[in-house]
C-alpha cells in the first residue's frame, strides 16, 4: 500500500472516530433528557405539566399561524456576482484618504460574554489605545439603516466621558469591517453596504471559524441554518474576509473552492491573531469559593470554555477520573457558561462524587477571577476538537502557565512548541500527558506560545486592510 493510501486510510479512521465521539455525546444527552422526562412523568410537577402541555401547544400553533400570514417568501438562490474591480494590490504603503469603520453593533446589542464578544471588545480597546495606525479607525454601530458612532460603547471600554452618538457620513474609499457577529444583523446592514459601494469603498467580514459548516452536529440546531445562510450572503457581499487565525483563513479558502460557493470575484482572504492580555480591575478580589478551589497542595488544572460538545469537558472529566483512580491528587476546575447540548455534562459535573472536592465548575467567573485561576493553576487543559483560535492558550501563556491541548492545526499554530499536545478526543492520552507533565517527563515552555497584545491585534487588522496584505485571493 502506498504512502498516500496509508495517509488517506488514517484520515478516514480519524473522521470515523470523531463521528463516534459526537454520537456518544448526543447519546449521553438523549439519555439524560429521557431520564428527566421519566422523572417529570412520575412526579407531582410532571402530572401538572401534563395538563399544561396542550395549552402550550395550542398557543404555539396559533402564534406560528399568525406569523405565517406576514412571512415573506424565501429569496431566490443567489447567483454568481459579475466580475468587477481589479485584482488586489500588492502589499505596499497605505493609500491616503480612507477610514476603517469597525462595526460593533452585534456586541452592543448581545454581549453574551463569549469569545467573540471578547475579541470585539479587546480589539476596540486596541484601536483606541492612542497608538498611530496605517489608517484612521473608529467603532461604529448601525441603527435603522443609519451608521452612527459608538461613543458610549468605547467609553465603557477605555474610560472617559461619552459624547452623544452622531450619524456618520460615508466618504470615498471607506472600508467597512464587520468585526462583530454580523450573522445576526446582516439584513439590517444591507443599506450600509449600498452606501459603502456607492462611495467606492469595500466591505470586509471578520470570520471566527467554520465550525457550523464543518462540524454541524457540534452546534445548536438554530445556528447551522443561520450560519449557512449568512456565509453565502457574506461571500457575495464581501470584498474580503479577515479570519482570526491563518488556519481559519486557509479553511475558508479551501472550503469555498471545494464547495464551489458563489463569491465576489477576486475575493481576498487574510488573517490576524488575537491578543492575550486581560483587562483587569485594580484591587479586585476573587470570591471565597474561587479561592477555595485552588487552596492546598493539590495541583489544579484549568479548563476554560462554554459547556458544549466540541469543547471536550467530558474528555477532561474522564481523564481526571483515570488519574484519581490511580491515586493522583489533582484538581480539575471548569470555567464556562452553559452553552447547548450541555445538560448531560452539567448533570455529570454537579452529581459527581468529586464535585466541590477535586472537581469545580464556575459559570459566572469574571476576568479578574479567571486571571486569579490562571495564576494558581498548574496548567491549562484544552480538549476541544474544533476551534477558530484558542484564546485560553495565549491567556494562560501570558500568565506563565503551560497548555495541554488537543492536537489540532489551529492549536499548533497558536501554541507552537510552547504547548503539550495529545490525541484529540482521547481521554486516556490526556491522562497520560498530564501524568508525564506532573512527573517531569514532558515539559512545555509558555514563552514559546504566541504572545501579542490586543493593540497588536488591532494594528494587524488595520495593516492588512490598509496595505492589502491578504494571504489568499480567489478567482
Alpha-carbon gap, residue 458 to 454, rounded angstroms: 6
Alpha-carbon gap, residue 463 to 375, rounded angstroms: 33
Strand order in the sheet with 419-422: 359-362, 331-335, 300-304, 379-382, 403-406, 419-422
Mean pLDDT of 318-342: 96
Alpha helix (H) ranges present in 281-407? Answer: 288-293, 313-325, 343-351, 367-376, 391-398
Spell out the CATH class of 288-451.
alpha beta
The pTM assigned to this predicted structure is: 0.82
Q: What is the pLDDT of residue 52?
A: 53
Give the whole-number percent of the chain exceeding pLDDT 70.
Answer: 83
Q: What is the pLDDT of residue 36?
A: 62
Q: In this model, does residue 400 exceed pLDDT 60?
A: yes
Q: What is the pLDDT of residue 404?
A: 98
Cell of 312: 471536550
CATH of the domain spanning 100-275+455-473: 3.40.50
Q: In this model, does residue 63 exceed pLDDT 60?
A: no
Q: In this model, does residue 381 exceed pLDDT 60?
A: yes
Q: What is the pLDDT of residue 83?
A: 32
Maximum mean pLDDT: which of 17-26, 102-111, 356-365 = 356-365
Cell of 392: 485560553
pLDDT digits (tens, 9 = 90+) for 81-133: 333 333 333 345 555 558 999 999 989 988 877 778 989 999 999 999 988 89
Q: In this model, does residue 73 exceed pLDDT 70?
A: no
- Give φ, ψ of 72 to 5 degrees: -75, 150
Cell of 223: 445556528
Q: Is 18 left (phi over 0), alpha (psi -120 to 50) or beta?
A: alpha
Calculate ∠ Cα 230-231-232, nearest 5°.
95
Q: What is the pLDDT of residue 20?
A: 66
Alpha-carbon gap, residue 461 to 228, rounded angstroms: 25
Mean pLDDT of 351-380: 96
Q: What is the pLDDT of residue 59?
A: 57
Closest CA to 203 of 186, 181, 178, 183: 178
Alpha-carbon gap, residue 294 to 59, rounded angstroms: 49
Alpha-carbon gap, residue 231 to 229, rounded angstroms: 6
Q: What is the pLDDT of residue 115?
A: 79
Mean pLDDT of 198-219: 94
Q: In this model, does residue 23 exceed pLDDT 80?
A: no
Q: What is the pLDDT of residue 310?
A: 94
- Give φ, ψ of 164 to 5 degrees: -60, 145
Domain with CATH 3.40.50.2000 in the chain: 288-451
Amino acid at each position: 500500500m502506498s504512502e498516500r493510501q496509508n495517509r488517506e486510510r488514517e484520515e478516514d479512521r480519524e473522521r470515523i472516530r470523531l463521528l463516534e465521539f459526537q454520537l456518544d455525546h448526543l447519546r449521553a444527552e438523549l439519555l439524560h433528557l429521557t431520564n428527566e422526562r421519566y422523572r417529570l412523568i412520575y412526579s407531582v410537577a410532571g402530572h401538572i405539566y401534563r395538563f399544561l402541555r396542550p395549552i402550550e401547544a395550542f398557543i404555539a400553533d396559533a402564534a406560528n399561524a399568525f406569523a405565517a400570514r406576514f412571512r415573506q417568501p424565501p429569496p431566490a438562490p443567489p447567483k454568481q456576482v459579475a466580475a468587477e474591480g481589479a485584482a488586489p494590490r500588492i502589499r505596499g504603503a497605505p493609500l491616503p484618504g480612507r477610514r476603517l469603520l469597525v462595526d460593533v453593533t452585534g456586541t452592543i446589542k448581545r454581549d453574551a460574554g463569549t469569545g467573540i464578544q471578547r475579541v470585539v471588545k479587546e480589539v476596540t480597546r486596541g484601536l483606541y489605545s492612542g497608538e498611530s495606525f496605517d489608517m484612521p479607525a473608529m467603532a461604529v454601530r448601525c441603527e435603522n439603516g443609519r451608521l452612527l458612532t459608538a461613543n458610549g460603547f468605547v467609553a465603557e471600554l477605555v474610560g472617559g466621558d461619552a459624547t452623544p452618538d452622531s450619524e456618520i457620513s460615508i466618504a470615498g474609499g471607506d472600508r467597512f469591517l464587520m468585526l462583530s457577529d454580523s450573522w445576526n444583523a446582516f439584513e439590517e446592514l444591507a443599506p450600509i453596504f449600498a452606501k459603502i459601494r456607492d462611495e467606492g469603498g469595500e466591505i470586509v467580514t471578520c470570520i471566527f471559524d467554520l465550525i457550523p459548516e464543518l462540524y454541524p452536529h457540534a452546534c445548536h440546531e438554530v445556528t447551522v441554518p443561520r450560519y449557512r445562510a449568512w456565509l453565502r450572503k457574506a461571500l457575495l457581499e464581501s470584498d474580503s474576509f479577515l479570519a482570526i487565525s491563518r488556519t481559519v483563513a486557509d479553511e475558508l479558502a479551501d472550503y469555498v473552492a471545494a464547495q464551489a460557493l458563489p463569491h465576489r470575484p477576486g475575493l481576498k482572504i487574510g488573517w490576524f491573531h488575537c491578543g492575550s492580555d486581560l483587562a483587569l480591575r485594580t484591587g479586585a478580589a476573587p470570591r471565597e469559593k474561587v479561592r477555595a478551589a485552588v487552596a492546598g497542595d493539590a495541583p489544579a488544572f484549568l479548563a476554560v470554555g462554554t459547556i458544549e460538545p466540541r469543547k471536550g469537558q467530558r474528555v477532561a472529566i474522564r481523564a481526571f477520573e483515570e488519574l484519581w483512580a490511580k491515586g493522583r491528587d489533582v484538581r480539575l476546575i471548569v470555567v464556562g457558561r452553559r452553552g447547548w447540548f450541555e445538560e448531560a455534562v452539567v448533570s455529570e459535573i454537579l452529581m459527581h462524587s468529586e464535585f466541590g472536592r477535586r472537581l469545580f465548575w464556575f459559570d459566572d467567573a469574571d476576568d479578574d477571577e479567571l486571571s486569579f485561576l490562571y495564576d494558581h493553576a498548574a496548567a491549562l487543559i484544552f480538549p476541544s476538537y474544533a476551534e477558530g483560535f484558542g484564546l485560553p492558550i495565549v491567556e494562560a501563556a501570558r500568565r506563565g502557565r503551560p497548555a495541554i491541548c488537543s492536537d489540532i492545526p489551529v492549536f499548533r499554530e497558536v501554541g507552537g512548541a510552547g504547548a503539550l499536545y495529545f490525541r484529540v478526543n482521547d481521554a486516556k492520552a490526556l491522562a497520560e500527558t498530564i501524568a508525564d507533565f506532573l512527573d517531569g517527563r514532558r515539559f512545555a515552555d509558555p514563552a514559546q506560545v504566541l504572545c501579542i497584545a490586543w493593540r497588536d491585534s488591532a494594528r494587524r487588522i488595520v495593516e492588512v486592510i490598509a496595505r492589502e496584505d491578504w494571504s489568499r485571493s480567489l478567482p
